[in-house]
Structure 1
Amino acid sequence: MRNSPRRTRTGVRTQTRAAALCTVLLLAGSVAPAIAAAPGGTVTTADAPTSGRGTLVSADFLYSLEKPEDVTAWLTSAEFDAGTVRYGVDAYRLVYRTVDPYGRPTTASGLLVLPRGGEGRLRPVSFTHGTGSHKDDSPSKQTGGFLPAPPVTYASAGYAGIAPDYLGMGVGPGPHPWMDVPSETTASLDMLRAARAFTPRTGRTLDREVAVTGFSQGASAALGLARALQSGEDRWFRLGALAPVSGAYDFGGAELPALLAGELETKSSVLYAAYTLVAFNRLHHLYDSPAEVFQAPYAATIEALFDGAHTGRQLMEGTPDTLDKLLTAHGRDLLAHPTGPMAAALRTTDDVCDWAPRVPTRLYMASGDEQATVTNTAHCRTALARHGVAAPVVDLGAVDYNGSRHLGSNVRATAAVVRWLDELR
């Protein structure tokens, strides 16, 4: 994948029905039942090399769900399907070396969840999560609920659940380069490498074939990782299956037009428009002053809200209820009719489906998605078809999670992907 700034996706929760949109942004991270505390904390890696992408820096044992019934209770409390649970699980936070959007060395973190039992050689499932604003809106920083539920589900079914936090999230330094598929790809690939380095310490090894999935923002990240694996960017891992969920795959051609036309939930549209301009400006220099694209009084405070230290609630309270109150005429025009650096960035954002996966591939979506217009999935399917790939679209139906079909699609798709992967074995 390219090493220049680029891409992303969806996923948010709020406080009422309008608050259910910014999902990851307001996650509380409550501890679910029957979690055994980490015995002593860190699995030391003090002798780890000091350079090299994917090099393991540290591994912290976070918690155990020792029995299948513990996992069932945990997933049920998170409102996820526990029907595929076969094992208890152990969860670890890995910190590893990777690169930033400019190719400079940095570190990132992620969640590794392993089954307690089953085979010694585990098939890895890479899950890339939806949008968050606070650093703690990350799989490895939550001990219960929406974010870690997918990797816990995969591990409890006998797979190795591997979930990168992304750059700037979890315990990684700096701001999160939201919408940047190339750095999502490198962070995800290097998380796989770190997991492979760590897993033998538990008496297990990782298989070569990776099942790749992800939700919302993570759906595009999943496609980026899948393409990197298929093109041979890692000497060990290769692509085994691909199942993205509810992505904004055509961000410039479908998502932004739907957002600006008022076809999506209003408050989530405000947040995504703001995040897009702030995050893209950090990498592509779209404007010299926030006042060029944001109206007063928000121009004075909007960039600080996306610094990784502000919560979803603060984001909700610090932004207006409509795009007309948020954007200047120039800000709206930049999203509606992108030119220059914005257009170049969107070309990278929007090519995630423009290739031919040579493995079983499915696209999951939910009818009536209020955050990621389903036109994205239609465009992705068409792009894959141009390359000779007939990817089935699985409509998850009228799902709901805290008033959101978008979030509900992640809940319902997780166990559905497990069952599909089991069929492929």
Structure 2
Amino acid sequence: MPVTRTPHRHRRVTTAAVAATILAGAGVVSTGAASGTSAAPSPNAATQRGTLLSAESLYTLTSAKDSAAELTACGYDPGAARHGVDAYRLLYRTIDTKGQPTTASGLFTVPRGVQGHLRTVSFAHGTGVHRIDAPSMQRKVFLTGPSITYASAGFATVAPDYLAMGTGPAKHPWMDVPSQATASLDLLRAARQFAPTTGRALNRDVLATGFSQGASAALGLARALQAGEDRHFRPGALAPISGAYDFGGAQIPALLAGDSELEPRWRVVYAAYTLVAFDRVHDVYDNPGKVFRDPAVEELFDGMHTGPQMINALPRTPDELLTPYGRDLLTRPKSGLTAGLRTTDSVCKHWKPTAPIRLYRAQGDEQATVQNTANCAAAFQEREIGVPVIDLGTADHQKSQHLGSNVKATAKVVRWFSTLPTRSNP
């Protein structure tokens, strides 16, 4: 988890100004009527998913040299940087876990000096607990490296903050794949509306990638696009990194196993987060005292505690964290938890990707057992989809193989995406 810091102040572009600029640019950039989206918002646009509410200019990296320097400072490989980058925070309409209207934010980055249609990357970030542990809220930290990597290589890039992170209301429904997918898709729609203000348009093909929690989000987005949930966007390629794709069958058993390869602190963090977050969506327990020895554990995941605060306040072992009932619930899930895991664990099951796909993992991952990736590849193989598993070997970053897998894989993914042919964009 990244260390949080106070976000910078940024210049705000109002909703009215965005709409005016879209109108001004509609005759220059080939979006709008030709692609099925009107340049001017319709009277009921405020109720529509993906409606852009506002945009903020966050920062500019003037040249490729500046992009490379920023990536180096974040610990990422600068080798693919060819452009400077403009970064924006987009606020947009989406739906919550119950299908009710809400808002969310996300990061939109574009390469400087490149106009017209751009190939589009969607990057979904890993687990955070504070609401500013999100791509549009921090700069020069672990979160922004992938977006800058892809944008500086020439791609338009969206990175959702997810529900209740960034500027979104309520509390974050961690590992809820359906809402991660809708937040990702609706950010793409908002970015498509905003892109003409920058002199650009988004290609139909979405190159979906994501890390850890975001690996499942990327799979969920690709599945939604393949199912035709958007009239414009379609899946172009898929590159998940170090995901917990089999939460019930691989991840939770590794959290509870006495001889687990996972680090003890992360076993406690994810056991606690699983119960708290799944309860928000699926009604897992009546009160926190039933599953946690200290009911105050639930408050650590309110979106206002930083990662270090949360880790320092948690006990050191699962047995110190969980009541006998709580441990039994994770060992033998029932009712709401069963329903939640069924949904979360479906990301590699019951569908057959039509776009190219690769899975990335690092040996010695201390947070997400590598059995997740093996099980995901096996699930696709059952549907006669041979998915290459890219073994990253040792991938240390800040003494973490898990974090390092994101850094190392991003360098490989951007190069793979760059080799893929661009399909026609009617």
Match of 1:327 in 2: 322
Which residue in the other structure is 1:399 paired with?
A: 395
1:41 partnered with 2:12: yes
Local SS of the residue matching 2:46: coil
**Aligned match of 1:170:** 166
2:38: which partner in 1? none
Q: Deviations for 1:250-299, whole angstroms, at most 9, x for unmatched residues?
A: 0000000011104111001101111111111111112112111101xx21
Paired residue for 1:190, among 177, 186, 190? 186
Contact kept? 1:230, 1:239, Cα under 8 Å: yes
Which one of the candidate residues 230, 233, 237 is aligned to 1:237?
Answer: 233
CA distance in 2, matches of 1:343, 1:56: 36
Give me the whole-angstrom Cα distance separating, in 1, the residues matched to 2:245 and 2:129.
Answer: 20
| Contact map agreement 2:4 2:306 (CA 8 A) in 1 | no
Shift of 1:303: 1.5
Q: How does 1:1-400 map to 2 (within 5 A)?
A: 23-24=1-2, 26-28=3-5, 40-45=11-16, 49-262=45-258, 263=260, 264-295=262-293, 298-299=294-295, 301-354=296-349, 355-400=351-396
Cα distance, 1:335 vs structure 2: 0.6
Rounded to whole Å, the distance in 2 between the matches of 1:119 and 1:380 is: 38
Structure 1 letter corresponding to 2:330? L
TM-score w.r.t. length of structure 2: 0.90
Structure 1 runs not aligned, ≥5 long: 1-22, 32-36
Greater RCO, CA 8 A, separation 6+: 1
Q: Is the 8 A contact 1:29 1:145 kept in 2?
A: no
SS in 1 for 2:240: strand
Moved more, 261-270 or 248-257: 261-270
Q: What one-letter code is carried by the residue in structure 2 that aligns with 1:257? A: P
Moved more, 277-286 or 57-66: 277-286
> Percent identity of the aligned residues?
59
Tell me, in whole angstroms, the C-alpha distance in 2 between the residues paired with 1:384 and 1:391: 7
Deviation at 1:312, TM superposition (A): 1.1
User: Is the 8 Å Cα contact of residues 124 and 160 (structure 1) preserved in structure 2?
Assistant: yes
Contact 1:109 1:171 in 2 (8 A): yes
Residues 129-176 of structure 1: per-residue CA shift (max 9 Å, x gap):
000000000000001110011011100000011100000000011100
Distance 1:311 1:347 in 2: 29
CA-to-aligned-CA distance 1:362-387 (integer Å, 9 cap, x gap): 00000111110000000000111111
**Alignment-mate amino acid for residue 165 of structure 2:** M
Distance in 2, matches of 1:29 and 1:158, equals 29
Partner Cα distance (1:383, 1:119) in 2: 40
The separation in 2 between residues aligned to 1:135 and 1:192, in whole angstroms, is: 21
Give the Cα separation in 1 of the matches to 2:379 and 2:115: 38
Offset of 1:30 from its aligned partner?
A: 8.5
2:131 and 2:223 map into 1 onto residues whose CA distance is: 27
Distance 1:61-1:30 versus aligned 2 partners, 3 A rule: closer
Q: Which amino acid in 2 is paired with 1:96?
A: Y
Distance 2:346 2:166 in 1: 27
Report the count of equivalent residues.
393
- Cα RMSD, aligned residues only: 1.4
Deviation at 1:118, TM superposition (A): 2.8
The list of structure 1 runs, each at least 4 consecutive aligned residues, that deviate by more than 4 angstroms after superposition, is none
Q: In structure 2, give the amino acid aligned to 1:277.
A: L
Residue pair 1:68, 1:88 contacting (<8 A) in 2 also: yes
Could you state the TM-score of these two structures normalised by the residue count of structure 1? 0.90
